[in-house]
Amino acid sequence: MSTALDRLAALLPPERLLVRPVELAAYESDGLTAFRTRPLAVVVPETTDEVIAIVRLCHELKLPFVARGSGTSLSGGSLPIAEGIVIALNRLNRILKLDPAQRIAVVEPGVVNTQVTLAAAPFGLHYAPDPSSQSICTIGGNVAFNSGGAHCLKYGMTANHILGIKAVLGTGEVVEWGGGSRERLGPDWCGLFTGNEGLFGIALEITLQLLPKAECFHTVLAGYCTLEQAGDAVSAVIASGLLPGAIEIMDALALEAATAAVHAEYPPGCEAVLIVELEGPHEVVAIERERLDAILSASSPVEMRPARDAEERLAIWKGRKSAFSAVGRLSPDFIVQDGVVPRRRLGEALRRIAEMSQETGLRVANVFHAGDGNLHPLILFDGREEGALHRAEDFAGRILRMCIEMGGSITGEHGIGVEKRDFLPDMFTADEIDCMQRLRAAFNPLGIANPGKMFPGSEAPSLSHVGLHPLEKAGVISRE
């Protein structure tokens, strides 16, 4: 391996080629802290040319590599490979172009999600995808995972906002697809590349579509006696023909945690809280909010609290976005699950999760994107208890199987990574997995780009503990 390090040393100055254990420690795991691996080295390129040279060297030496943005993946996507290197992309953090007339931004992969919206704000524009980790996660990571957020219902996921990608593939080839236009000719290569989980190569420059900021919001928080009533209210909103920007639900345990953590105040005695947000020109919102308020009033809420100003709206979202980390503080360890069920079966799914919780004796909190049917059950356990981790994982697995059985998906936005490899065959046939393997092999024939992820049958990395991301512990980020 010394030749690999020697060759890398020829490409980068010593301070950007990390090999000492203390330097490598920070890169050993991602947001799925159950897994931990020490890589051979971490390289810190500063230019796209350096990334290309590194990937080409990896190709020549058959050296595995894992691209890394901010390491907030919740499925082990950026977990290192012991005999490979980590390519840390945080220093490729330039916004290369911001064109308000065309409403696009061209960014390097290490640009942090919220930085795009901040840069676009003076022009009245914003970048729509808003994962809860947005203050820290990178556009490169978002592209690799096709990340979502609370506002997917109306404007979609990351892939719906990617207009162009320049990337270096696992073959060392540099490609450029799409560009500033919202339309394209021929097959949708950018669409295929987005969501590849780092198995196709590394995104070097990404063209993002920006949208005008909504002029006006109407955000309502409604409390219910039961989760089922909150679920029924979601169905009623959907059936009404309104298209809200977001529809979210938090259950009792999540409410309790958010109250403790950020002093969020919720209607007392509620088992569930529903958040619905409308957005648009004020003339439109004025009419639609009447309809929404009527629908919600008829859904027997304990209390309805429309946000009266921007501050109250932010407070509602702060409680919502902090809920997961807050729940995490209630327990020494937890597993956050990400699955999708058809929206009409949400109530049934939540009932079954509650039953499983009773059976296993493990508490579970639910905070989720109700409008998309995207569940995020959070299973609480104490890793010091004999067999607890195993029971929690078993519980998480049962939830995923339930999602598949109901015709949903094993991941709505966190990806397969290492965590859900073994569930891929529950969702796809052997031929379908073979088709995806063939695609992987086309982009990455030597298997050097992020090996061991997405596909079953790879060697399992070692388990340590499950819980808050180090950055969450530090209070830097929170999760959904």
Partner 1 sequence: MISPATLTELRDAVLSAPRVIAVGAETKPRLSAAETVKISTRPLSGITEYEPSEFTFSALAGTPVREIIAALDEKGQYLPFDPMLVEAGSTIGGVVASGLSGPGRFRYGGVRDFILGVRFVDGLGRLLRLGGKVVKNAAGFDVPKFVVGSLGRFGVIGEVTFKVFPKPESTFTLQMPFSSEKMAQLANSRFEIDALDVLPGGETMLVRLAGPAKALEVLAKEIGGEVTDSTVWRVIRETPWSFKADITLDQINDFKTAHVSCGGNVAFSNAPPPRGMTLRGDSPLWIGGRPRFAIEAAVKQALDPQNRFPTLDD
Ligand X SMILES: Cc1cc2nc3c(=O)[nH]c(=O)nc-3n(C[C@H](O)[C@H](O)[C@H](O)COP(=O)(O)OP(=O)(O)OC[C@H]3O[C@@H](n4cnc5c(N)ncnc54)[C@H](O)[C@@H]3O)c2cc1C
- Positions that interact with ligand X (CB under 6 A): 30-31, 66-74, 77-78, 89, 109, 131-133, 137-138, 140-142, 144-145, 147-149, 197-198, 202-203, 413-414, 450, 469, 472, 477-480
**CB closer to partner 1 out of 28 and 130:** 130
**CB closer to ligand X out of 351 and 473:** 473
| Contacts with partner 1, 291-330, as mask; x by CB under 8 A | ----------------------------------------
**CB closer to ligand X out of 79 and 346:** 79
Among 212, 269, 456, 457, binds partner 1 (CB under 8 A): 212
Interactions with partner 1, residue window 368-397 (CB under 8 A): 369, 372-374
Among partner 1, ligand X, none, what does residue 49 contact (CB within 5–8 Å per kind)?
A: none
Among 60, 176, 359, 385, binds partner 1 (CB under 8 A): 176
Which is nearest to 105 in space by CA: 92, 119, 93, 91? 119
155 lines the binding site for partner 1 (CB under 8 A): yes
* Smallest separation (angstroms) from ligand X to the CB of 269: 29
* Smallest separation (angstroms) from partner 1 to the CB of 404: 10
131 lines the binding site for partner 1 (CB under 8 A): no
454 lines the binding site for partner 1 (CB under 8 A): yes
**CB closer to partner 1 out of 211 and 354:** 211
**CB closer to partner 1 out of 308 and 438:** 438
How wide is the angle at C-alpha 130 spanned by C-alphas 124 and 135, nearest 5°? 90
Interactions with partner 1, residue window 186-205 (CB under 8 A): 186-189, 191-192, 194-196
Alpha carbons 184 and 286: distance in angstroms, whole number: 37
Strands 125-126 and 211-212: antiparallel
Alpha carbons 118 and 127: distance in angstroms, whole number: 9
* Smallest separation (angstroms) from ligand X to the CB of 79: 8
Among ligand X, partner 1, none, what does residue 265 contact (CB within 5–8 Å per kind)?
A: none
Interactions with partner 1, residue window 226-285 (CB under 8 A): 235, 238-239, 241-243, 280-281, 283-284
83 in Cβ contact with 40 (< 8 Å): yes
* Smallest separation (angstroms) from ligand X to the CB of 161: 13
428 lines the binding site for partner 1 (CB under 8 A): yes
| Contacts with partner 1, 329-358, as mask; x by CB under 8 A | -----------xxxxx--------------
Structure token pair of residue 73: 């993946």
Among ligand X, partner 1, none, what does residue 71 contact (CB within 5–8 Å per kind)?
A: ligand X
Q: How many CA atoms lie within 13 A of 451 on its CB side?
A: 20
65 in Cβ contact with 58 (< 8 Å): yes
* Smallest separation (angstroms) from partner 1 to the CB of 386: 33
Among 69, 71, 141, 412, binds partner 1 (CB under 8 A): 412
* Smallest separation (angstroms) from partner 1 to the CB of 199: 8
Which is nearest to 94 in space by CA: 78, 79, 111, 77? 111
Instruction: Give the CA-trace dihedral at 106, 108, 112, 117, to 10 degrees.
Output: -10
What single-letter amino acid sits at 447?
G
**CB closer to partner 1 out of 27 and 368:** 368
* Smallest separation (angstroms) from ligand X to the CB of 106: 14
Interactions with partner 1, residue window 101-130 (CB under 8 A): 101-103, 123-125
* Smallest separation (angstroms) from ligand X to the CB of 160: 13
Among 202, 370, 424, 468, binds partner 1 (CB under 8 A): 424
**CB closer to partner 1 out of 8 and 410:** 410
Residues in the chain, total: 480
What single-letter amino acid sits at 334?
F
**CB closer to ligand X out of 115 and 147:** 147
* Edge-to-edge order in the sheet of strand 85-88: 17-18, 41-43, 85-88, 65-68
